[in-house]
Amino acid sequence: MLALQGGVREHERMLDGLGATVVRVRRPEELAGVDGLVIPGGESTVIARLAALAGLTGPIRVAIGAGMPMLGTCAGLILLADALEDAAAGQETFGGLDIVARRNAFGAQTESFETLLDVPDMGEEPVRAAFIRGPVVASLGPAASALARHDDGRIVAVEQGALLATAFHPELTGETRFHERFLGQVRAAAA
């Protein structure tokens, strides 16, 4: 669990409930000891800055290149995007997903909402998704695939190899399937 800033505890609770051993990653030595990384929601500019200060940016990029499974939610999706449409001055991402993300695509914090999404890859039951100043996938490159779309057709969940990212917060609505999918990748990679 990348624990520099943002909604760390909700993810920890969910991962714990699914039987995972959860370790907080704040330094490169801690990253070296894990088999997968969850990047939480929060403020992507702040997480990126703290990661750089902690000397984690390079090691996270290396881990992504080496195929470490990662799940990013909201700010986590922004940080896993190869490019941003509207990067803040100097804002960098870890990259890995062949997408261009657009930050704050659903308006302000007060316009947060919950909705049900059909996610064919996750079975019949719709996904209850909480959007809190969430991003959107503005464009999808050939290496990434769309897992979920909002009612208006905009892409809000993507997958590429061992990387999984959602523009919404499954950890806030008791939606376990994304974390289960991530843990499946972690177990496969660690086996």
Tell which one of 133, 147, 156, 172 touches ligand GLN (CB under 6 A).
133
Pairing between β-strand 127-131 and β-strand 113-117 as defined by DSSP bridges: antiparallel
With H, G, I as helix, E, B as strand and everything else as coil, classify residue 158. strand
Interaction residues for ligand GLN, span 100-119 (CB under 6 A): 103-104
Q: Which residue, 69, 101, 161, 166, is CA-closest to 127?
A: 166
With H, G, I as helix, E, B as strand and everything else as coil, classify residue 26. coil
Tell which one of 1, 8, 25, 42 touches ligand GLN (CB under 6 A).
42
The yes or no reply on residue 75 touching ligand GLN (CB under 6 A) is yes
CB of 78 closer than 8 Å to CB of 103: yes
Residue 43: CB minimum distance to ligand GLN, A: 5
CB of 94 closer than 8 Å to CB of 76: no
Residue 14: CB minimum distance to ligand GLN, A: 16
The yes or no reply on residue 84 touching ligand GLN (CB under 6 A) is no
The yes or no reply on residue 74 touching ligand GLN (CB under 6 A) is yes
Quickly tell me which residue has 């039987």 as its tokens: 19
Active-site positions read 74, 169, 171
Binding site for ligand GLN (CB under 6 A): 41-44, 74-75, 78, 103-104, 132-134
